[in-house]
Amino acid sequence: MRIAGRGRIDRRSPVRFRFDGIDYSGFQGDTLASALLANDVRLVGRSFKYHRPRGVLTAGSEEPNALMTIGSGAGAEPNVRATVQELFPGLEARSQNRWPSLNFDLMAVNDLAAPFLGAGFYYKTFMWPRAFWERVYEPVIRNAAGLGALSGAHEPDRNEKAYAFCDLLVIGGGPAGLMAALVAARAGADVIVADEDSRMGGRLLAETFEVGGRPGVNWADNVIAELNAMDNVRLMTRTTVTGVYDQGTFGALERVSHHLAVRPEALPLETFWRIQARRSILAAGALERPVAFRNNDRPGIMTAGAVRAYLNRWGVCAGRRVTLFGNNDDMHRTARDLLSAGIHVVAVIDSRHDAPDGRGYRVYKGAMVCDSSGRRGLESVTVRSIGGEDRIATDCLAMSGGWNPTVHLTCHLNARPTWREDILGFVPTPQAVPGMSVAGACNGAFSTHDCLREGAAAARDTLEDLGLRAAAIDLPEAEDAPHAISPLWAVPGSGRAWLDFQNDVCVKDVRQAAMENFRSVEHMKRYTTQGMATDQGKNSNVAALAILADVTGRGIQDTGTTTFRPPFSPVSIAAMGAGAQGKGFAPERFTTSHKASAERGAPMIEAGLWYRPSYFPAPGESHWRQSCDREVNMVRTSVGVCDVSTLGKIDVQGPGAAAFLDFVYVNTFSTLKVGRVRYGLMLREDGHVMDDGTCARLGDTHFVVTTTTAAAGQVMRHLEFVHQCLRPDLDVALTSVTEQWAQFSVAGPRSRDLLNAVLDNPIAVKDWPFMACGQVFVGGVQARLFRISFSGEQAYELAVPARFGDSVFRILLDHAEKIGGGPYGLEALNVLRLEKGFITHAEIHGRTTAFDIGMDAMVSDKKDCIGKAMSRRPGLTDPDRERLVGLKPAGEVQLLVAGAYLFSPGDDPVRVNAQGYVTSVAFSPTLGHMIALGFLRNGPARHGERVRMIDHLRGLDATCEVVDPVFLDPEGERARD
């Protein structure tokens, strides 16, 4: 029911919306919850387990009942709290967890079965048969007990991540937070104020108090206006600080455009912030707790503070005949505000014998509400007092069990809150979060005066830490009522009295848990599911603790709380993972020849983040093998061009460069002549192979190291480690130049012809022997040429500054094609290297040693190097280790596969008998059969033997002959040609 003259809504802007297919009207400034209440919609959802009818309980983000699905189609958002969702024109909301409809929910039979559905029900009932759990019980339970569901479609909305830095983060924009922000901002601090509400002001928006002689909300608006005008202040509304992390890092969720009917293209739906603050002030306020009594969960039963908020902020009353029930003075404010708005207050039922007298309303002192009735909403309550039981007709019960300081964020770094008996609430333990001060209601200081005072004081302390001076500031006058309360957690009596509304946990469930010896609060929580719903027990945890404390005979402090973890309120995975959908999941690295390769229809293969052409299909080719075989033949008979820029390139310069390389490679580089290249092998310090590659000496103190594509980052980091941590005495500088140089392999008997067609000055055979390197020019551009070969053919690698990569690649292909050559891809590159027995990370996979790959002779005796000491361990040099061999088919089955295991022919092919394994395979068009590299026990001594290759997964069994890993041109004459 809308109340004339009340509320801070814009009555000139009506807003049409729809709930469960029915059209309603509210106003700009309404939440979905206030608009529904204004339209007398009380039944808004069904509970999780018993499917009980439920109405709006609160007016904030702690709402456990009014969860709805907003919108439709792919972007429909489930489990939105109607108390948080701002109304906008055309908003479409649907209730959840009911079938077929909210008013007639078939699953409500669960409520009749309630005696069997108590705490531990699932654990006790679905024990056997075991296999039934997965196939029968779990699907059925999940189907029956659920919240809203996602659409299952791809998320159509865009979310963002953002970062912010400040001197002071103020969490909460109520009286304490605004006062703190004002003091800090006037002193020049860089301040962020984050508040989860759509406007700042906090509780002042929901009250009729005066601050500084004018309505509190006007005071707040003035402060907000002053803060807004300052460059050093950022006010973030609709922003919930969700988590506290180490060293002043905060997570925060900003709901950017959930409240907009039409979302501008530029705006994300939500932004997940990381805020880095030197200091913080928590001014998060407090949350009111319900009282547990029989049937306290009917629609129409709400917290007293929420009833007051709906009246004062939204001009809505949740009923026409309102009754109040509680244990404290604060709820009397609700009675007074209702009366002054002309609403009929039936009675205030105050559990305290010394309760204050009513001012214009009846007070039952020392009385309690012990039951309620009404089918889909409250119709009456039963009051128990010394005089007996009375039934009172009422359509709204405003209840208050006191207020819980919102301490959650102070516990995210593992601190526990402290119980204060005088306010019957937990408050933050001092120094719970380094650099965080606490002010106002979240600190147990409930009066407006205390909030303002603590806010200002916290700001002054903070400023001192920040080295700033606070100007003197007069605190505005405000109410300073004491927090008068006496304990009332659960009204004695039979029947179900709800604690956790969303998860349907009742007082008797907590008692039963304790009786069954789940007495630790953490055990009770898990046994009953108390506090495990989306509100994380914000409405119910403290009462549940109090009841557990009572049953177990311990104090509340000793009983302790469960652990509060981030997030404070739900955060969608879409917001946390913003930007990481689809192509955003991993960056793509493209070589400079990418476009030219794509134009030729080359399918790409991912190599780490790189995209490399797999093969270049020629007209008429329909299978990758046709292209690959052709490209291999092309390189072996003419010339091929392949982009090898993805290999890591590390520039090593300085007087200490040669000594440094001697230390990181097993072999020696100080003896390498300028203008020459050498193959090098690096070990890890544990003696296993890290990586291999070439190292070229461009000058006396200038080398270029190449790494494999996969290990480029790892090797760079390793070299920096060795230099900075182990050999800082060496004067050497390391720079990754992988991205700076485009590098192309030009391989094949006609490679020199191709180069001479492209280079500004032809190269002479005598000047460019195998493993030479030096400077050349292409179209006037200074380039580097390396005569190295990964194919076994006469070959070169031409490196040009990356900006020329695209054009040089195209020029090379143009000329190559004129002489019967062309581009080749990664598949052909792999076949070419396998035919030559060259290894890749398929072979140096982290468990192989230099000995295993037949390179132990490279480990220099004349110097120390990384990994040398450990590589000499007996276990790493045992001849019976699995060592590199070549394999070729020697039986009927000609197919070889990588990953298969090797067995001696007579052995049972089981794991314990495995003699080795296959690492790489390819069909060799040069040899006309498949070839493989693998590791075999004592392999080098077994050339000529037969072994069985068995792949248990693919059901393959092939006889192989063990051969030398170099299948082609073992003398290496072609490369030297």
Residues lying near other proteins in the complex (CB under 8 A): 245-249, 274, 276, 413, 434, 685-686, 717, 720-721, 723-729, 734, 864, 868-870, 873
Rounded to the nearest whole angstrom, what is the least distance from the CB of residue 431 to other proteins in the complex?
A: 11
Cβ nearer to other proteins, comparing 623 with 872: 872
What is the Cα–Cα distance from 451 to 73, expressed in whole angstroms? Answer: 45
Helix (H) or strand (E) holding 977: none
Rounded to the nearest whole angstrom, what is the least distance from the CB of residue 660 to other proteins in the complex?
A: 13
Rounded to the nearest whole angstrom, what is the least distance from the CB of residue 736 to other proteins in the complex?
A: 9
Rounded to the nearest whole angstrom, what is the least distance from the CB of residue 863 to other proteins in the complex?
A: 9
Q: Is 194 left (phi over 0), alpha (psi -120 to 50) or beta?
A: beta
Query: Reduced to 3 states, what is the DSSP secondary structure of residue 374?
Result: coil
Cβ pair 361, 345 in contact under 8 A: yes
Cβ nearer to other proteins, comparing 134 with 729: 729
Helix (H) or strand (E) holding 743: strand 741-747
Rounded to the nearest whole angstrom, what is the least distance from the CB of residue 720 to other proteins in the complex?
A: 5
Rounded to the nearest whole angstrom, what is the least distance from the CB of residue 243 to other proteins in the complex?
A: 13
Nearest CA to 284 out of 152, 412, 120 is that of: 412
Cβ nearer to other proteins, comparing 247 with 494: 247
Rounded to the nearest whole angstrom, what is the least distance from the CB of residue 574 to other proteins in the complex?
A: 20
Burial level of 182, CB count in 10 A (0-12/13-18/19+)? Answer: buried
Alpha carbons within 13 angstroms on the beta-carbon side of residue 906 total 1
The first and second tokens of residue 263, run together, are 């979302």
Cβ nearer to other proteins, comparing 295 with 849: 849
Distance between alpha carbon 104 and the CA centroid of its chain, in Å? 39
Rounded to the nearest whole angstrom, what is the least distance from the CB of residue 960 to other proteins in the complex?
A: 36
Query: What DSSP line would sit under 33-57, residue for residue?
Result: HHHHHHTT----EE-TTT--EE---
What is the Cα–Cα distance from 256 to 239, expressed in whole angstroms? Answer: 8
Cβ nearer to other proteins, comparing 137 with 721: 721
Number of Cβ atoms within 10 Å of the Cβ of 337: 20
Q: Is 687 left (phi over 0), alpha (psi -120 to 50) or beta?
A: left
Cβ nearer to other proteins, comparing 750 with 868: 868
Rounded to the nearest whole angstrom, what is the least distance from the CB of residue 108 to other proteins in the complex?
A: 48
Cis peptide before 129 (omega within 30 of 0): yes
The first and second tokens of residue 937, run together, are 């026990």
Rounded to the nearest whole angstrom, what is the least distance from the CB of residue 372 to other proteins in the complex?
A: 48
Q: Is 585 left (phi over 0), alpha (psi -120 to 50) or beta?
A: alpha
Nearest CA to 897 out of 948, 860, 937, 932 is that of: 932
What is the Cα–Cα distance from 970 to 235, expressed in whole angstroms? Answer: 73
Cβ nearer to other proteins, comparing 276 with 807: 276
Q: Which residues contact 623 (CB under 8 A, 6 or more apart)?
A: none
Kindly state the DSSP code that residue 723 receives in the 8-state scheme: I
Rounded to the nearest whole angstrom, what is the least distance from the CB of residue 649 to other proteins in the complex?
A: 16
What is the Cα–Cα distance from 708 to 199, expressed in whole angstroms? Answer: 56
Give the ranges where 744-901 is alpha helix by DSSP (H): 751-758, 805-818, 826-835, 868-871
Cβ nearer to other proteins, comparing 724 with 775: 724
Cβ nearer to other proteins, comparing 198 with 714: 714
Cβ nearer to other proteins, comparing 389 with 864: 864
Rounded to the nearest whole angstrom, what is the least distance from the CB of residue 274 to other proteins in the complex?
A: 8
Q: What angle do CA 213, 218, 221 make, to 5 degrees?
A: 135
Rounded to the nearest whole angstrom, what is the least distance from the CB of residue 663 to other proteins in the complex?
A: 11
Per the listing, tokens 């045992």 go with 878
What is the Cα–Cα distance from 207 to 222, expressed in whole angstroms? Answer: 17
Nearest CA to 117 out of 499, 506, 502, 548 is that of: 506
What is the Cα–Cα distance from 848 to 659, expressed in whole angstroms? Answer: 26
What is the Cα–Cα distance from 250 to 273, expressed in whole angstroms? Answer: 8
Cβ nearer to other proteins, comparing 166 with 499: 166
What is the Cα–Cα distance from 374 to 378, expressed in whole angstroms? Answer: 5
Rounded to the nearest whole angstrom, what is the least distance from the CB of residue 177 to other proteins in the complex?
A: 24
Rounded to the nearest whole angstrom, what is the least distance from the CB of residue 865 to other proteins in the complex?
A: 9
Cβ nearer to other proteins, comparing 318 with 866: 866
Cβ pair 540, 530 in contact under 8 A: yes
Cβ nearer to other proteins, comparing 69 with 667: 667
Cβ nearer to other proteins, comparing 554 with 863: 863
Report the amino acid identity of residue 623: H
Cβ nearer to other proteins, comparing 182 with 244: 244
Rounded to the nearest whole angstrom, what is the least distance from the CB of residue 880 to other proteins in the complex?
A: 21
The first and second tokens of residue 839, run together, are 């290894």
Alpha carbons within 13 angstroms on the beta-carbon side of residue 602 total 28
Cβ pair 703, 696 in contact under 8 A: yes
Return the sign of the alpha-carbon dihedral for residues 36, 9, 317, 328: positive
Cβ nearer to other proteins, comparing 63 with 167: 167
Cβ nearer to other proteins, comparing 229 with 725: 725
Give the ranges where 289-446 is alpha helix by DSSP (H): 304-314, 330-340
Query: What DSSP line would sit under 333-358, residue for residue?
Result: HHHHHHHHTT-EEEEEEES-TTPPPP
Rounded to the nearest whole angstrom, what is the least distance from the CB of residue 852 to other proteins in the complex?
A: 18
The first and second tokens of residue 786, run together, are 């390396």
How many residues are there in the chain?
Answer: 977
Cβ nearer to other proteins, comparing 445 with 690: 690
Kindly state the DSSP code that residue 740 receives in the 8-state scheme: T
Rounded to the nearest whole angstrom, what is the least distance from the CB of residue 721 to other proteins in the complex?
A: 6
